[in-house]
Amino acid sequence: MGQQFTSDNTAGMCPQALAAFVEANLTGHEDAYGEDTWTAKVCDRIRDVFECDAEVFFVFNGTAANSLILAAMCQSYHSVICHQMAHVDNDECGAPGFFSGGSTLLVSNDPLGKLTPKAIEDLVTQRHDIHYPKPKVISLTQATECGTVYSVNELQAIGKTARRLGLHVHMDGARFANAVVSLNATPADLTWRAGIDAMVFGGTKNGLPMGEAVVFFNKDLATDFAYRLKQAGQLASKMRFISAPWLGLLDNDVWLENARHANAMAKRLHVRVKDLKGVKVMFQPQANGVFLGLDHAVQDGLRARGWVFLVSERGCRFMCSWDVLEETVDKLCRDIEVLCA
Ligand SMILES: *Cc1c(COP(=O)(O)O)cnc(C)c1O
């Protein structure tokens, strides 16, 4: 199949990740279950990236990472505040509730896919009685599910609200790299310095074969997390093949380069089609996703020309991956131009 914009996980792994994967196979035997030298090295590198002494774990995918962090933050009678678009609500088959033994999600519908202090406060204070699941966690997605990003100020405001209301903060960073380069901010400023307790540091969409990092800045919350992972079937015995590819991303800031390219391709697409008659820009792209309102005839025309893309109330979604070529973007733009003419 040619390059597509269906998702940023249709792309393969980046050469640097593959090289690290191959290299991890050349050192011969290694200790299993994460006791290997590769995993130790990558955990240290991730602590360097975030400039803090965090607890780091690896899991197979984002659903496991999100839901197990939330389970570590919640009792069964707690609730998690998230946006209506959140992956934890829409795309995880109820895993957060399952792994926490019953916690529920409270959703807000603020603009731009972002939670605000006011929405959070409203959800927390609307009920105080014993019959309502007690709010315990704020879960936010950076970059968001509609291609926007939370600024450092917005994150700090949410962090402050969380502390005042006694809530933990979880960040779904499936596209954290795209937010880092978009905001030109440090990973530390975008996370623990703003009050994030734990995050999913996404690597898959950035060029890994698989394997997201779970990063606990608040180390108290990581107590017994290793047991939770094992019980959930998320402890890889040959862990080094999940961790080592991370070195390929982190060495020489390849992760930021990959994200910079993906974001630039989204911008290229946006700039070329934004003023066309028949194109409605649903969200100003700040990361690697472009969301366009397109007539059904245009959508059908694009499909007839071989393009695959998701459609929802957010519009038609075009995700740019780390390796999408300028030519591919230009070809899509030409097709949209022709169909809108
Ligand atoms: C892709 C994605 C994930 C990860 O999903 P998995 O399929 O479980 O790996 C998590 N959150 C967001 C916002 C995503 O886009």
User: What is the tens place of the pLDDT at every residue in 277-310?
Assistant: 999 999 999 999 999 999 999 999 999 999 999 9
Domains of the chain: residue spans and CATH: 15-253 (3.40.640.10), 255-340 (3.90.1150.10)
| The pLDDT value given to residue 313 | 96
Closest residue by Cα to atom 10, ligand 1, is: 62
User: What is the tens place of the pLDDT at every residue in 32-47?
Assistant: 999 999 999 999 999 9
**Is the C-beta atom of 144 inside 6 A of ligand 1?**
no
Structure tokens at 208: 């890994």
Report d(CA 285, CA 168) in Å as an integer.
Answer: 28
Closest residue by Cα to atom 6, ligand 1, is: 62
Indicate whether 1 pLDDT > 90: no
**Is the C-beta atom of 63 inside 6 A of ligand 1?**
yes
Chain CA centroid to CA 275, Å: 29
Q: Are 38 and 231 in contact (CB under 8 A)?
A: no
Instruction: Using the atom order of ligand 1, give the atom closest to the CA of residue 63.
Output: 8
The residue to mutate among 91, 148, 320, having the most atoms of ligand 1 within 8 angstroms of its beta carbon, is 91
Structure tokens at 294: 């397109």
**Is the C-beta atom of 139 inside 6 A of ligand 1?**
no
Indicate whether 141 pLDDT > 90: yes
Can you list the alpha helix ranges (DSSP code H) found in the chain?
15-24, 37-50, 62-73, 87-90, 95-99, 117-125, 152-165, 176-183, 225-231, 240-250, 254-273, 296-304, 326-340
pTM summary value: 0.98
Q: Which residue has the tokens 């630039």?
A: 264
Indicate whether 129 pLDDT > 90: yes
| The pLDDT value given to residue 183 | 98
| The pLDDT value given to residue 75 | 97
User: What is the tens place of the pLDDT at every residue in 104-122?
Assistant: 999 999 999 999 999 999 9
User: What is the tens place of the pLDDT at every residue in 77-91?
Assistant: 999 999 999 999 999
Q: What is the CA radius of gyration of the chain?
A: 20
